[in-house]
């Protein structure tokens, strides 16, 4: 088996694996063309607030576009860098929001290292790190980030395949 894409080590959820080299190449081409759809669920450590300091309501959607590159002074962390960073785009929808936590769905349109984690934690992003993120937030009993859904075209039959596994948190 050949792993088609990656998840951060502490992220739970779905991972796509190919059984043959040909299928692996076909699925990787779908990732490269951004035709594969993915959705993650996360619990953020706090409430996402607007500029007016009021909590964003459930159902609210948004888009984060912050270019990322490796932080040479703090590996393995990534940095937002408008000049040297690579394009990183995340769409999100708030599921629930309380004073302590925000449950959110993330749909990454690009696949940069730590993209969701940085987009959640960075002041120009949501300014609210994922619960349990030891690199960009605070430690907890686990990282509350789960790859919940993936949709792709079957590399042999051409059917659209949708797989979903809800998080256990």
> Nearest to residue 98, comparing CAs of 61, 43, 147, 139?
43
Kind plus residue range of the DSSP H or E element containing 13 = strand 12-13
Set 8, 133, 141, 159: catalytic member: 8
CA distance 98 to 28: 38
Q: 8 catalytic, yes or no?
A: yes
- CA distances, 56 to each of 24, 32, 52, 113 (Å): 40, 33, 10, 27
Contacts 24+ apart (CB under 8 A), 161-168: 163/14, 164/14, 165/13, 165/14, 166/41, 167/12, 167/13, 167/41, 168/12
- Please list the active-site residues: 8
């Amino acid at each position: 088996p050949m792993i088609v894409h990656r998840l951060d080590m502490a992220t739970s959820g779905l991972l796509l694996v190919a059984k043959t080299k040909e299928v692996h190449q076909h699925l990787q081409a779908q990732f490269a063309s951004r035709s594969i759809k993915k959705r993650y669920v996360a619990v953020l450590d706090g409430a996402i607030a607007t500029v007016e300091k009021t909590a964003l309501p459930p159902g609210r959607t948004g888009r984060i576009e912050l270019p990322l590159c490796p932080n040479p002074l703090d590996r393995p962390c990534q940095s937002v860098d408008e000049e040297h960073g690579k394009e990183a785009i995340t769409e999100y929808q708030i599921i629930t929001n309380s004073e302590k936590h925000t449950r959110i769905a993330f749909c990454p349109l690009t696949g940069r290292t730590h993209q969701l984690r940085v987009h959640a934690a960075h002041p120009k992003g949501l300014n609210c790190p994922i619960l349990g993120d030891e690199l960009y937030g605070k430690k907890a009993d686990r990282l509350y980030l789960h790859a919940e859904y993936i949709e792709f075209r079957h590399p042999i039959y051409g059917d659209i395949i949708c797989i979903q596994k809800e998080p256990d948190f």
